[in-house]
């Protein structure tokens, strides 16, 4: 790729974008192939039991625009090298008629579909799970990501018995000015290599986060308050719920890049959460002000 540097800047930019697009397509095709192979071999490659003292549940949510590729993510979760006690898919009951058969067909293989009466968007991923199963280890996942077979194992292996230590495979680091005040979200150290544990590590739930029982503040299940203070920034909500509970984050695993399926909603929310008026900074300030909390 060194030859690209010799091209005019505008041409080099276009070539680099095209190369990255082709490379991303290749990785996605390879991921689909790996999912297919793992699924076909699921009867011969048995997962091992997890060593945690309580049940372990994977939780995710989805919506109709992502239903076409949802089965790919679910199959990657159902073929992990470590076996969870449940893979919970939390869906709004108004979307029931849109769920394709190839997702329903996964229920005999470990998928449990839970229908909820209110569409709380991304908060459906974890709030209903915490309400219904308060005394288990909860892991979060997104519906548009390929999860490598050792994804869950890396999270589980990081647990040392401290329930106030949340584990994540992917995190950002909160940067501060010289006076200690927090810099804007866009200036945080994205996809940091720092391990922690630290209260200045900010987990991204889609990359995979393990929440031990009791690691979040009791308000974590207050969907109405979450929707009021952080309507489009659930990771900000979970981050503050961890701070309130004096829990710290530890990053585990190899920090590999994410392989995602195409998603319009992800780009839309990313734009909102980067904006000054409605984004992560504004919603973080809402929460800090409400709880009179200093970061």
Position 171 scores a pLDDT of 97
Inter-axis angle of helices 280-290 and 264-274, to 10 degrees? 60
pLDDT recorded at residue 5 = 53
Strands (E), 18-132: 48-49, 56-61, 82-83, 86-92, 111-116
Q: How many C-alpha atoms does 278 have within 13 Å on its Cβ side?
A: 10
Tokens of 75: 């199959």
pTM, whole model, 2 decimals? 0.88
Whole-number pLDDT of residue 125: 96
- Domain-by-domain residue ranges, the chain? 2-291
> Which run of H or E residues covers position 28?
helix 9-40
Please give the pLDDT value at position 38: 86
Query: For 184, which DSSP code?
Result: P
DSSP, collapsed to helix, strand or coil, labels residue 168 as strand
Q: What is the pLDDT of residue 151?
A: 98
Both tokens of 12, joined, read: 């080099």
pLDDT score recorded for residue 227: 97
Residue 144 near residue 260, CB atoms below 8 Å? yes
pLDDT at residue number 15: 43
- The CATH class of 2-291 is alpha beta
Q: What's the rounded Cα separation, in Å, for the pair 107 and 242?
A: 32
Q: Residue 216 and residue 222: Cα distance in Å, rounded? A: 12
Q: How many CB atoms lie within 10 A of CB 235?
A: 20
* First CA to last CA distance, the chain: 42
In sequence order, which ranges of 177-222 are alpha helices (DSSP H)? none
Structure tokens at 171: 């995190």
Report how far residue 12's alpha carbon sits from residue 230's, in angstroms, rounded to the nearest whole number: 40
d(CA 285, CA 271): 18
Are 114 and 187 in contact by the 8 Å Cβ rule? The answer is no
pLDDT tens for the chain, residues 1 to 295:
554 555 565 544 454 444 344 455 676 788 888 888 888 888 888 999 999 999 999 999 999 999 999 999 999 999 999 999 999 999 999 999 999 999 999 999 999 999 999 999 999 999 999 999 999 999 999 999 999 999 999 999 999 999 999 999 999 999 999 999 999 999 999 999 999 999 999 999 999 999 999 999 999 999 999 999 999 999 999 999 999 999 999 999 987 888 898 764 444 444 444 544 459 999 999 999 999 999 8
pLDDT confidence of residue 257:
84
Q: Three-class SS string for 209-261?
A: EEECCCCCCHHHHCHHHHHHHCCCCHHHHHHHHHHHCCCEEEECCCCCCCEEC
The whole-number pLDDT of residue 10 equals: 58
């Amino acid at each position: 790729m060194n030859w690209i540097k010799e091209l005019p800047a505008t041409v080099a930019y276009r070539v680099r974008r095209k190369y990255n697009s082709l490379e991303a397509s290749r990785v996605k095709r390879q991921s689909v192939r790996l999912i297919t192979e793992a699924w076909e071999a699921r009867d011969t490659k048995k997962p091992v039991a997890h060593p945690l003292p309580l049940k372990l549940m994977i939780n995710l949510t989805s919506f109709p625009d992502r239903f076409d590729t949802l089965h790919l993510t679910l199959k990657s979760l159902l073929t992990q090298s470590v076996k969870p006690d449940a893979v919970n898919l939390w869906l709004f009951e108004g979307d029931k008629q849109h769920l394709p058969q190839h997702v329903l067909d996964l229920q005999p293989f470990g998928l449990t579909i839970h229908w909820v009466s209110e569409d709380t968007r991304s908060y459906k991923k974890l709030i209903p799970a915490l309400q219904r199963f308060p005394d288990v280890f909860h892991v979060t996942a997104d519906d548009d990501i390929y999860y490598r077979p050792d994804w869950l194992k890396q999270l589980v292996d990081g647990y040392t018995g401290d329930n106030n230590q949340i584990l994540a495979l992917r995190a950002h680091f909160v940067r501060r000015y010289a006076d200690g005040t927090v810099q804007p979200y866009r200036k945080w150290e994205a996809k940091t290599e720092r391990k922690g544990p630290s209260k200045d590590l900010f987990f991204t739930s889609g990359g995979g986060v393990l929440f031990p029982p009791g690691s979040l503040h009791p308000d974590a299940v207050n969907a109405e308050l979450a929707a009021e203070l952080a309507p489009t920034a659930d990771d900000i909500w979970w981050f503050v719920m961890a701070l309130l509970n004096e829990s710290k984050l530890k990053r585990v695993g190899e920090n590999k890049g994410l392989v995602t399926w195409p998603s319009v909603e992800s780009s839309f929310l990313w734009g909102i959460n980067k904006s000054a008026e409605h984004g992560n900074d504004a919603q973080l300030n809402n929460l800090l002000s409400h709880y009179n909390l200093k970061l």
